[in-house]
Chain A
Amino acid sequence: MTQKRKRPKSLYQRIKENTKIQTSATVILPVLLGVVIVVLWQTQTLHHLFRTDTFTLPLLDRIGSILFDNIDKIWENVVATMVVALAGLGLGSLLGYGIAMLAALCPKIGKGGLSVIGAFASIPVVALAPVMNNWTRDISDIASVRSMVAKILVVMLVAAANMGLNAYRGLTELKPYSMDLMATYAAKKRTTFLKLQLPNSVPYIFVALKVSVPASIMTAIVSEYFAEYIIGVGRQIRENIVLSQYSTAWAYIATACIMGVVSYVALMIVQSILLRKYH
């Protein structure tokens, strides 16, 4: 009896079919890219490539040492920026969800609200920030307070639009017949909302937050550029560039990156815990 000989698999096929290699590749490749950039940066190859010098694009060890030397001052600015970003994100998301609820429960009044908030959100932050500064001039005698209110308002608008549009989908895009099902049980509007629409909207809340969390930090940073009171990571980037202290400016840019990444990772962890039921 002749046995059919198995054709040996090519190296490419073996790599393609190995799931262990596949999952580790998604980690290793980005890390490798990072290492390459660090090496190019530190060896000044980047500087030759972009025809710049170590004064405008300081070396990484220099940025790192400035970061550590000024950690107290940087932390103070991180807190100021995060307070604005988180307060704006929280209030804006609540406002957005409220408008989405109104639109879902009484479309006659609420749907207009969604359009208005969508329109507001399409105004660029660089245009909104100075306007908000003007609007909030009479809110308080203390510059730091009225400046903070102005920045929070800008972040709020961005977050509210995002949450409003997504949450509305979550509250209205239901499984077919689920509204009929609630009707056959003579469920009240409130019961239908609590037992069907609200839980259905939870994944959509996270869709909104995945965009809103980084966007809030970005918006907070940009609106600090225009704020009256000088504080925050964004404002430090601007001040240091104006003073030609590029190393310090880069330390704050690095800080801003870390803030974005850390908050996104935190959101992902919360989501993986809360959405366990949904997947």
Chain B
Amino acid sequence: MSELQERGIEIQIRDLGVTFQDNAGHDVQALTGVNFDIYKGEFISLLGPSGCGKTTLLRTIADLQEPTEGTVRISGMTPKEIRLQQKFGFVFQQPVLFDWRTVKKNVELPLEIMYQSKEDRSKRADEMLEMVGLKNFSDHFPRQLSGGMQQRVNIARAFGIRPEILLMDEPFSALDEFTKEKLHEDLLRIWRQTNKTIVFVTHNIQEAVFLSDRICVLSPHPGRLSAIVDVDLPRPRTLEMKESPRFTELVYEVRGKFEGGSV
């Protein structure tokens, strides 16, 4: 932990609250009174059941959602400033690949938006596809790939722009266990290579423990931060660690943090 803190704070969240209006015009509090910091280069998970506001929190960091109260500061700037500087990589629940573009062209999309030259784009896309193990599929169309492969393309696209901060919203929740475990290892490897800050939303306790440095446990109605748990498993993480007593202890510890004791 102390090693993390030495790197400095990247994202500062203060008294954050988000209120929506439902169809009947009533106010619904999605998030209230959220306070915490995210360190540079950290892998942090936002964990909680549905309705706890974890996705709302992630979208607020990415400037896809305006806070109703409080502030988010990223390296001293507003989320909007960071977004306009194109420093976010966002991985959505679904791959969101464009059907009319090949796999490679999909990875190149954000680079096109950033006006990078054709050669640079092509080179970078090749690198990224190599990294996620899809080099031989660059000329395929998304519909020709399995769900897991599509999510890999999604990750390649997100890392392709060399984002400062990577925001991931339940990226693996639609995948089977085998594919998920493979992608967990891939993601950790890529994260080690690139050293970026990752904010990872999930509702899966094991997933959060396996991947994260720290876990923010959120509780619903209204969405709020109940606890932050440090995960002291050594890095690099391996699948065998899931069998270790420490892993099980951590899972129990995290489960105990949900308000009311159970979910």
Contacts and interface: CB of A to CB of B under 8 A. Distances in A.
Interface of A: 175-178, 180-187, 191, 195-196, 199-200, 202, 277-278
A183 B83 contact: yes
Contacts of A278: 99-100
A195 B92 CA distance: 19
26 contacts: A175-B94, A177-B92, A177-B93, A177-B94, A177-B96, A178-B98, A180-B90, A181-B90, A181-B92, A181-B96, A183-B64, A184-B64, A184-B88, A184-B89, A185-B113, A185-B114, A186-B83, A186-B113, A187-B113, A191-B113, A196-B98, A199-B98, A199-B100, A202-B100, A277-B99, A277-B141
B109 interface: yes
Nearest to B161: A185
Contacts of B98: 178, 195-196, 199-200
B62 A184 contact: yes
A10 to B, nearest CB: 37
A202 B83 CA distance: 30
Given A177-B92, A185-B109, A202-B100, 5 more contacts: A176-B96, A181-B90, A184-B64, A195-B98, A277-B100
Interface of B: 62-64, 83-86, 88-90, 92-94, 96, 98-100, 109-110, 112-114, 141, 161
A58 B86 CA distance: 73
Contacts of B161: 185
Contacts of A185: 86, 109-110, 113-114, 161
A195 B96 CA distance: 13
Contacts of A186: 83-86, 113
A173 to B, nearest CB: 13
Contacts of B84: 186
Contacts of A184: 62, 64, 83, 88-90
Q: 9 shortest A-B CB distances, which residue pairs? A: A184-B90, A177-B92, A277-B100, A185-B110, A186-B84, A199-B100, A185-B113, A177-B96, A187-B113
A177 B96 CA distance: 7
Contacts of A183: 63-64, 83
Contacts of A200: 98, 100
Contacts of B92: 177, 180-181
Contacts of B141: 277
A178 B84 CA distance: 17
A187 B115 CA distance: 11
Contacts of A181: 90, 92, 96
A181 B89 CA distance: 9
Contacts of B62: 184
A199 B63 CA distance: 26
Contacts of A277: 99-100, 141
A177 B154 CA distance: 13
A6 B127 CA distance: 55
B92 to A, nearest CB: 4
A185 B157 CA distance: 11
A199 B101 CA distance: 10
Nearest to B92: A177
B18 to A, nearest CB: 16
- Of A186, A202, A278, most B-chain CB atoms within 10 Å: A186
A195 B109 contact: yes
Contacts of B99: 277-278
Contacts of A202: 100
A196 B105 CA distance: 13
Contacts of B113: 182, 185-187, 191, 195
A277 B109 CA distance: 16
Contacts of A180: 64, 90, 92
Contacts of A195: 98, 109, 112-113
A181 B169 CA distance: 12
Nearest to A180: B64
Contacts of B64: 180, 183-184
A40 B14 CA distance: 85
- Of A180, A181, A195, A277, most B-chain CB atoms within 10 Å: A181
Nearest to B97: A175
- Of B84, B85, B109, most A-chain CB atoms within 10 Å: B109
B93 to A, nearest CB: 7
A178 B141 CA distance: 17
B21 to A, nearest CB: 20
A176 B96 CA distance: 7
